[in-house]
């Protein structure tokens, strides 16, 4: 694929609420990351698996993938199976649906030079389906009110709305490593209304580098996040508590700190990493210097160490039971459950504060009396 659009669908969640961030980010190099490359590899494998499932010619990319592993293979297989199952359901009401894989989608009618790539698009009478694969497992992604998916849907409508009688769009996020399949269906008219009233006005401001900066959760993937003054102001608002000891704060004040705690910690980390890189490039910060960090000893060659110690008459290896993940990989999930299902437990996790929007149930401490009874009965 080519260069990303300035106002890409994948970053729309940011530039819609913070329009000037689009032009500000242009000043910073996109260095990429291992996570991004892993995602790229996973998408290439998913594309291959789906094309093969659809009977299309496709070259196996496995040998060229840097992050290929058994988990990625399984995720790609499951993705292809999901799409094929959905396609089977579509064919029950539409004899000749169109299936597009890794399709460039142009939504420039609403966003200047706006385009993206849809992982899979299915066009049928009545409904247009857009499926997006997410390999990441750090953040669960929802299809509900998801601007990236809505931009893709607009691009697909631009191609087929005049050919097929489409009334609604069904947008799906397929995120296997989070066991997350999120689906949202919108009426076509509702989508167009959003494009006219929300997307297009924000895009005009963003393209011109105008509008108001707005800090928030969307800052996480912004390339200007370390130097953005609005983000700094947003996080430094906590300084109004003057770093008072916790027991002098009101409950509402502590809640306000908790609301910002993760953002504040992330911001501090981003600033420190940015400052280090700038210092390595010659920038001098008053009161600071670059020094060598601590490091630990390590073997030059583990094979050479093992051979040397073995020759001396010692056993250089630590023998222990494989961890759960490695054991399951060796046995396979089905055999693992058969052999070890009764020997594996999941202890109660430690309590942690989370927003009320978190899907996990409220923490209930284990009853020590019931735990003791259970232990006694198992003996």
Dump pLDDT digits (tens) for 282-322: 899 888 888 888 888 999 999 999 999 999 999 999 888 98
**How much is the pLDDT for 2?**
42
Pair (83, 194) in one structural domain: yes
Would you state the pLDDT for residue 374? 55
With respect to residue 185, please indicate whether it lies within any of the assigned structural domains: yes
Residue 377: pLDDT over 60: no
Going by DSSP bridges, is the β-strand pair 180-187/98-106 parallel, antiparallel, or unpaired?
Answer: unpaired
Instruction: Decide if 279 is inside a domain.
Output: yes
Under a CB-based contact definition with an 8 Å cutoff, are residues 15 and 206 in contact? yes
User: 120 Cβ partners below 8 Å, 6+ apart?
Assistant: 50, 83, 99, 100, 101, 129, 130, 131, 133
Asked if residue 18 lies in contact with residue 213, where contact means CB atoms within 8 angstroms, the answer is: yes
Return d(Cα 300, Cα 280) in angstroms, integer: 27
User: Domain tally for the chain?
Assistant: 2
In a shared domain, residues 103 and 166 = yes
CA proximity to 112, closest of 151, 143, 145, 162: 151
Do the domain assignments include residue 214? no
Strands 126-133 and 115-123: antiparallel
What percent of the chain shows pLDDT beyond 90? 51
Residues with Cβ within 8 Å of 58's Cβ and at least 6 positions away in sequence, in order, are: 47, 48, 51, 52
Q: Do 204 and 229 fall within a single domain?
A: no
Q: Establish how many alpha carbons lie within 13 A of residue 34's alpha carbon, considering only the half-sphere containing its beta carbon.
A: 3
Boundary-marking domain end, from 287, 317, 347:
317
Q: Is residue 5 part of a domain?
A: no
Residues 273 and 154 both lie in one domain: no
In this predicted structure, what is the pLDDT of residue 299? 93
Q: Which residue would you say has higher pLDDT here, 148 or 272?
A: 148
Question: Would you say residue 175 lies in a domain?
Answer: yes
Domain that holds residue 256: 225-317
Q: What average pLDDT score do residues 270-283 get?
A: 85
Q: Residue 17 is encoded by which pair of tokens?
A: 């609420």
Residues 158 and 284 in one domain: no
Q: What is the pTM of this model?
A: 0.70
**Domain boundary pick from 181, 208, 235:** 208
The CATH number given to whatever domain includes residue 90 is 3.90.320
Residues 177 and 257 in one domain: no
Q: Are residues 92 and 186 in the same domain?
A: yes
Residue 280 lies in a domain: yes
Domain ends where: 208, 243, 259? 208
pLDDT mean over 232-255: 71
């Amino acid at each position: 694929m080519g260069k990303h659009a300035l106002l890409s669908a994948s970053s729309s969640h940011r530039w819609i609420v913070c329009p000037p961030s689009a032009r500000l980010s242009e000043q910073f190099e996109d260095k990429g990351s291992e996570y991004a490359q892993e995602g790229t590899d996973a998408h290439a494998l998913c594309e291959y698996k789906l094309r093969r499932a659809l009977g299309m010619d496709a070259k196996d990319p496995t040998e060229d993938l840097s992050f290929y592993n058994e988990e990625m293979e399984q995720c790609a297989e499951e993705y292809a199976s999901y799409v094929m199952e959905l396609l089977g359901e579509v064919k029950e009401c539409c004899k000749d649906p169109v299936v597009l894989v890794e399709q460039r989608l142009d939504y420039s009618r609403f966003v200047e030079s706006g385009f993206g790539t849809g992982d899979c698009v299915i066009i049928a009478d009545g409904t247009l389906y857009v499926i997006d694969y997410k390999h990441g497992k750090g953040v669960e992604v929802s299809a509900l009110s998801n601007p990236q998916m809505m931009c893709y849907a607009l691009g697909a409508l631009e191609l087929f709305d005049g050919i097929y009688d489409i009334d609604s769009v069904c947008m799906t996020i397929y995120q296997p490593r989070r066991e997350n399949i999120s689906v949202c269906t919108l009426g076509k008219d509702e989508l167009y209304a959003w494009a006219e009233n929300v997307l297009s006005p924000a895009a005009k401001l963003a393209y011109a580098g105008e509008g108001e900066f707005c800090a928030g959760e969307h800052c996480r993937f912004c390339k200007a996040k370390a130097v953005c003054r609005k983000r700094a102001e947003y996080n430094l608002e906590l300084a109004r508590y003057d770093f008072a000891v916790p027991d002098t704060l009101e409950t509402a004040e502590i809640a306000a700190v908790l609301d910002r705690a993760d953002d504040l910690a992330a911001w501090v980390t981003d600033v420190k990493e940015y400052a280090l890189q700038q210092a390595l490039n010659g920038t001098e910060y008053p009161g600071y210097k670059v020094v060598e960090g601590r490091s630990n000893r390590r073997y030059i060659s583990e094979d050479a160490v093992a051979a040397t110690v073995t020759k001396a008459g010692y056993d250089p290896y630590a023998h222990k039971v494989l961890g759960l993940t490695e054991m399951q990989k060796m046995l396979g999930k089905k055999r693992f459950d058969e052999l070890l299902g009764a020997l594996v437990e999941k202890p109660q996790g430690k309590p942690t504060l989370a927003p009320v929007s978190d899907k996990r149930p409220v923490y209930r401490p284990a009853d020590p009396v019931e735990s003791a009874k259970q232990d006694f009965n198992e003996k």
